[in-house]
Amino acid sequence: MRPVRALISVSDKTGIVDFARELSNLGVEIISTGGTARLLKEAGISVREISDLTGFPEIMEGRVKTLHPKVHGGILARRDKEEHLKAMERLGIERIDMVVVNLYPFKETVKKGASLEEIIENIDIGGPTMVRAAAKNYAHVAIVTDPSDYERVIKELKETGEISLKTRFYLARKAFNLTAHYDALIAEFLYSIDEEGNPVNCREMRNPLTITFEKVSDLRYGENPHQRGAFYKEVFIKEPCVARAEKLHGEKELSFNNIYDLDASFGLVTEFDPQTDGIACAIIKHANPCGMALGKTPEEAYEKALKVDPVSAFGGIIAFNAKVTPEVARLITERFYECIIAPDYDEEALEILRTKKNLRVLTTNGLDGLERRGVDSPFEYRRITGGLLVQDRDLITVDPEKLKVVTDREPTEREWKDLLFAFKVVKWVKSNSVVYAKDGVAVGIGVGQTSRVDSARCAAEKAKMMGLDLQGSVLASEAFFPFRDSVDEAAKVGVTAIIQPGGSIRDGEVIQAANEHGMAMVFTGIRHFRH
């Protein structure tokens, strides 16, 4: 297909003057609208106004300008159908062989905090209509929506004199992807407000579900080298998170597994408020904590967390909920880690970390917006073959006032503090899981066993191997105990208090076991399965 006439109407004017000039030099007639037409004329390019084509002026402040049969007839007409060609001749419709359109900046308008009226005005109508029309008729029309494709189109025209079917199909796929993304963005925004434009936390499980993400980068590979991988992010997310984090250092790019582990580590440390709970340090391996502790300083929290399992920490991910200091930075550089993420870094600390060329250093640039957790990104998505599982993010927190002591003995003040700490940590451990905690340190972490008692035994055994004393510790379980065996195992290693959801048909036996061992036991009524 050799284009005779091109309709150009772009919001993003990057490269459009050079592109239009090249088309014009190749003998293509340029039709344009509004600001695009003015820009091209100022650049000395011959331009025909859209109103000249349609015989109808732009009206309603530009809301209606390309929605006209002479535009869409020229785009949609099949050149291989005699009936279409006769209709064009009878109605005076001129063929349009190329449409160059990108859309009103809806996303950018929302992000800059514009008024609802301005946002609504930046919902493009004519643009997507032309894009879809041209993409549908790709057999005869080229649709160009991405400035990065200008060079490819001009190169092909100069070399062959036409735009190939292969290129037109490539452009059509990109065009439909663009309009799908654009409409999904509008839907996401409208679901985030009420009819008067006030923000709402909408958790509607929609039918159908249409979601959209923007690519951050390609990855070296997925979980394994034989799997391709890419990183995408939600468009309107405002809470501090890995998707919005800035990479400050590290020669290697982040991997699929790095990003997954960074998300788990940052999620865990931000369970704790650095002002009220203390500075948190988590060391993550394969999305599970192998070290977690609170401290008065980052270095104290890190040293306590490292002692939990220094062997597994090798090659792990470190996260903090507070600024990284030079003191802890020096300690971190003594060992090999893949990544570190924190709200901020002391400048000296950053210089120290930069001495490790392969250590990826990320910052969320503070914790502002943490209160929006679950507002901009309320759901989790898990792909299965042929389907998608959708659920609310697990953001529920325990209200200490609503906890139920079910044993004869109540926890001591120290036990209460460790129980609440341990229950926050166990939420981030793959099920079945238990966490032993003592003085703000997760001294034993039982990960992903198929029976809860095995998780309790494995965690205790690992603590023993690391020389950690469980005497006087507390135990948290992310789900109820189906039998008393885990309580008996905990008693053997010196646990004095337990926190768990409760709800088993054998709760009575479990509570009796705790009473026999002189333990305190607390029910939360909240389960934290993590698969």
Query: For residues 287 and 320, is the Cβ–Cβ distance under 8 A?
Result: no
Q: Which of 157, 191, 225 is the last residue of a domain?
A: 191
Give residue 202's pLDDT: 78
Q: Residue 465 — very low, low, confident or very high, per pLDDT cuts 50/70/90?
A: very high
Query: For residues 66 and 73, is the Cβ–Cβ distance under 8 A?
Result: no
Same structural domain for residues 418 and 290? no
212 found inside a domain: no
Q: Residue 464 — very low, low, confident or very high, per pLDDT cuts 50/70/90?
A: very high
Q: Report the SS3 class of residue 147.
A: helix
> Which residue, among 5, 60, 64, has the nearest Cα to 33 in the 3D structure?
64
Q: Which of 130, 159, 191 is the last residue of a domain?
A: 191
pLDDT over 70, % of the chain: 100
pLDDT for 255-272, tens place per residue? Answer: 999 999 999 999 999 999
Say which residues have a Cβ less than 8 Å from residue 247's Cβ, sequence separation at least 6. Answer: 254, 360, 361, 362
Same structural domain for residues 66 and 169? yes
Query: For residues 50 and 57, is the Cβ–Cβ distance under 8 A?
Result: no
Query: Token pair of 139, please?
Result: 């057999």
Mean pLDDT of 303-310: 97
How many structural domains are present in the chain? Answer: 3
47 found inside a domain: yes
Q: Which sequence positions are flagged as catalytic?
A: 136, 286
pLDDT for 400-419, tens place per residue? Answer: 999 999 999 999 999 999 99
Separation between Cα atoms, residue 143 and residue 130, nearest integer Å: 9
Give residue 13's pLDDT: 96
505 found inside a domain: yes
Same structural domain for residues 138 and 278? no
> Which residue, among 506, 337, 522, has the nearest Cα to 421 in the 3D structure?
522
Q: Which domain holds residue 59?
A: 5-191
Same structural domain for residues 145 and 19? yes
CATH at 441: 3.40.140.20
> Which residue, among 459, 442, 470, has the nearest Cα to 283 in the 3D structure?
442
Separation between Cα atoms, residue 126 and residue 514, nearest integer Å: 70
Query: For residues 214 and 177, is the Cβ–Cβ distance under 8 A?
Result: no
Number of H helices, E strands in the chain: 19, 21
- Which residue is associated with the tokens 């064009």? 88
Torsion angle of C-alpha atoms 221, 223, 224, 230, degrees rounded to 10 = -20
Mean pLDDT of 192-219: 89
Q: Residue 2 — very low, low, confident or very high, per pLDDT cuts 50/70/90?
A: confident
Separation between Cα atoms, residue 435 and residue 379, nearest integer Å: 26
Query: Token pair of 469, please?
Result: 């004393």
What's the pTM value of the predicted model, to 2 decimals?
0.89
37 found inside a domain: yes
Separation between Cα atoms, residue 75 and residue 3, nearest integer Å: 12
Q: Which of 353, 372, 391 is the last residue of a domain?
A: 372
